Structure 1
Amino acid sequence: MNLSEKPLISIIIPCYNAEKYIHSCIGSVIDQPYKNWECVLINDGSKDKTLEILEEVSSGDHRFKVLSQENQGLSATRNLGIENAKGDYLFFLDSDDLIAENALQLFIDELDTESEILTGITLTVNGENLEKISQLKHPKEGDILFGNNKQEVLLRTMESGLAPVAQNRLYSRLFLEKFNLKFKDGILHEDELWFFETMFLATNVKFIDQETYLYRTDNAESITKNIGERNLNSYLEILEVVFQKYYQNNSDPYKKAVVERYLQYLKKLIIDFSIREKSKLGHAARLRLEGTLKKIHTHSDEFKLLSDKNENYYKALNKLSLFSFDIIEKHFFKNPVNSIRKRYKLFKIKYLLK
């Protein structure tokens, strides 16, 4: 079959005002030794020369498909890419990032018929010389296959952290279609929900010990550089979706217990964000935070899924989230107990707060 008819991999690149970085981004795709791919480039209502660059760079190469729409945000743009992709596997690439040399071949070498999600190592880089800063959280084993029948990926995330990002993962189209997975439209931090849903539903998740993605940290236009109340509202909407769709409507006691703990994990992230950025949050935003945290209250179960320190921490956090923002701020600590001071704070939350 002609490559233009049936590529194995569809690379989806949403673009909004991306003229500064898009040449390098597309160049990293073109330079891949592995060639059986298509690249779906989507201009999301850019006000600069992004569309002009996309049409120029892709001209004459049948592997590129350029789409353009009025500005609708990252979720809608990625969803448009999913709808127009032809590949058996989908890969999301941000327009200010790059895929590493030979990344696609490294993924292909790890593919098998059961593969639903493959993830490589993401390096954070800075500056024109792409100076390596660090890497996003990856399993300590480097190479590991999760059968995920016990929700091992989410449990590992709660215990030691894994990067909740959509990019730098190869997704099986059949897997995404089976569960009708799309990005939630109209929110920020959409990757948090996407990560939870994909890792909750997948039964074959492989992490490979190879550097496959370069994530820029120096883009001043990045959404992560512009924080406000919309960020909090999006986090709370994600919390409600997980609660309503995967906790309240879950008839499997074990999976429900995993979701219960992940709700507390999300609460931790949201509370930490709210305290850190409280000067940017008005009274109404704090009230919505308090109301949502109280609504997303869960009950104890019979399972012990995490380490003792995390089980105790999340139970205490579930109780703390019933109080006002001022009380939460006073008693909250981000990490599980690892000091006498935190043990005392945990004791006060569990036994003294009324």
Structure 2
Amino acid sequence: MKKKPLVSIIVPIFNVANYVYDCLASIRNQTFNDFEVVMIDDGSTDQSNLICEQFCQLDCRFILHTQKNAGLSVARNKGIQFSSGEFILFVDPDDMLNEKLLEKTTNLLIKYGTDIVSFGYLTLNNDKLLESSYSGPDLGKINSSIALESLFSGQFGNYVWKLLVKKSIYKKNRINFPQDRQFEDVATTYKILGYARTIYFTSDRLYIYRQRKNSITHMHSDKDLQDMLITFNEIDLFIDRNFSSLKSILLNYEFNMIFMLITRMGGWDTNILNVFRPLKRNQKRYIIDAKKTLKKIYRHKKNSKLNKKKQWIKFFLLNLKVFPICIAIKSSLKRG
């Protein structure tokens, strides 16, 4: 009987032939060897499937499953279903791993006996490695309440691929990625952290996140706000039932996430010239609806002193149309 690996690495794949070889090679080159790679090809029409098959021939730890195109969430959920490891790590197919990622994180799991290890990441932009805006807090071993407070206060990015997670957390708590919705990670990360007994946070930057203009993360639609509000309703229910003391900081988090959506829809974070271009009809409608949502959240927080002044300043600058210019300048400086 084949021995089950300690870690299952799940890689959802769709039309990433230009990047997936580097991704899979970085996994194969890990200094820690007790893992399997579950690749879910979500109906690719380029050479992605062929590249995956080549890795299967080279290394028996690589396993390929194919399906008709059904989206990222379905592919990830299938990966959980097909995995056999005790722990799960998600890797996006255009990203890469530091060769010591598994070695360092599994050592922390063994040393501290936690359910999850969270780590930092670097950003790859135009073949240039940059430190991410999220430093990756070096919190050590903490409980789920502190982890959620750190998430909602913006101390680390809301990405499932920066978490090495005990598989039983997904299975016992029936955690699935929502189908046909954007922001899959936002809809699941809080549950993963909330159901864990303890989490270890290291600031080591062990993941390489590639930024692409045509990736799912950078594609925006009118449906984004609707999807985010559905997710917020789910998070509100979960926090009310399990971590009610975090309600105030959660509202602040939701406020900031809506601001992020406005920034993306306006294109202010990618090109300063977008600030001076007239908004399209769908952009105007989207931003108007988002501002209404912000006002509701702000009114709901009137009894809370948490960042109330900061939110008022953001509102003021947004209404004066100064906020877009500030965002565009900040993004331009960050890109160098």
Distance 2:59 2:226 in 1: 42
Checking the alignment, whether the CA contact within 8 Å between 2:32 and 2:100 is kept in structure 1 is yes
Q: CA deviation at 1:275?
A: 5.2
Distance 2:182 2:215 in 1: 12
User: TM-score, structure 2 length as denominator?
Assistant: 0.80
1:276-315 alignment runs, 5 A limit = 277-278=265-266, 279=279, 281-282=282-283, 285=286, 289=290, 298=300, 310-313=306-309
Q: CA deviation at 1:210?
A: 2.4
Which residue of 1 is the match for residue 238 of structure 2? 246
Which residue of 1 is the match for residue 129 of structure 2? 132
Q: Residue 259 in 1 paired to residue 247 in 2?
A: yes
Choose the corresponding residue for 2:218, options 213, 225, 229: 225
Which residue of 2 is the match for residue 117 of structure 1? 116
Indicate the SS of the match to 1:59: helix
Choose the corresponding residue for 2:105, options 104, 107, 113: 107
Checking the alignment, whether the CA contact within 8 Å between 1:168 and 1:213 is kept in structure 2 is yes
What do residues 3-59 of structure 1 show as CA deviations (whole Å, max 9, x unaligned)? 4xx011000001110100111111011111211100001111112111122112212
Distance 2:229 2:317 in 1: 16
Distance 2:290 2:265 in 1: 13
Cα distance change of structure 1 residues 60 and 156 upon mapping to structure 2, 3 Å threshold: closer
Q: Residue 166 in 1 paired to residue 154 in 2?
A: no
Distance 1:288 1:119 in 2: 35
User: TM-score, structure 1 length as denominator?
Assistant: 0.76
**Structure 1, unaligned stretches of length 5 or more?**
321-325, 335-354
Q: Residue 273 in 1 paired to residue 261 in 2?
A: yes
Indicate the SS of the match to 1:200: helix
Which residue of 2 is the match for residue 203 of structure 1? 197
Distance 1:62 1:202 in 2: 32
Distance 1:145 1:18 in 2: 36
Q: CA deviation at 1:272?
A: 4.0
Cα distance change of structure 1 residues 10 and 332 upon mapping to structure 2, 3 Å threshold: farther
Which residue of 2 is the match for residue 84 of structure 1? 82
Choose the corresponding residue for 2:319, options 326, 330, 333: 330
Figure out how many residues of one structure are paired with residues of the other and give that number.
308
Cα distance change of structure 1 residues 224 and 160 upon mapping to structure 2, 3 Å threshold: closer
Tell me the percent identity: 23
Q: Residue 96 in 1 paired to residue 94 in 2?
A: yes
Distance 1:269 1:51 in 2: 35
What do residues 257-292 of structure 1 show as CA deviations (whole Å, max 9, x unaligned)? 313431331222213422552435356545654676
Cα distance change of structure 1 residues 291 and 216 upon mapping to structure 2, 3 Å threshold: same
Which residue of 2 is the match for residue 234 of structure 1? 227
Which residue of 1 is the match for residue 35 of structure 2? 37
**Structure 2, unaligned stretches of length 5 or more?**
267-278, 324-336
Which residue of 2 is the match for residue 144 of structure 1? 140
Distance 2:263 2:130 in 1: 27
Cα distance change of structure 1 residues 137 and 235 upon mapping to structure 2, 3 Å threshold: same
| Structure (1 or 2) with the greater helix fraction | 2
Cα distance change of structure 1 residues 242 and 88 upon mapping to structure 2, 3 Å threshold: same
Distance 2:42 2:204 in 1: 31
Which residue of 2 is the match for residue 349 of structure 1? none
Distance 1:143 1:275 in 2: 30
Divergent runs of 4+, >6 A: 294-297, 331-334
Say which is worse superposed, 51-60 or 69-78, in terms of deviation.
51-60
Distance 2:203 2:294 in 1: 38
Indicate the SS of the match to 1:71: coil
Checking the alignment, whether the CA contact within 8 Å between 1:154 and 1:262 is kept in structure 2 is no
AA of the residue aligned to 1:137? Y
Checking the alignment, whether the CA contact within 8 Å between 1:75 and 1:183 is kept in structure 2 is yes
Distance 1:270 1:312 in 2: 15
Q: Residue 53 in 1 paired to residue 47 in 2?
A: no
Distance 1:156 1:17 in 2: 35
Q: Residue 179 in 1 paired to residue 173 in 2?
A: yes
Distance 1:11 1:215 in 2: 16
Checking the alignment, whether the CA contact within 8 Å between 1:232 and 1:274 is kept in structure 2 is no
RMSD: 3.1
Distance 1:311 1:236 in 2: 21
Distance 1:158 1:251 in 2: 17
Distance 2:154 2:32 in 1: 34
Q: CA deviation at 1:229?
A: 1.5
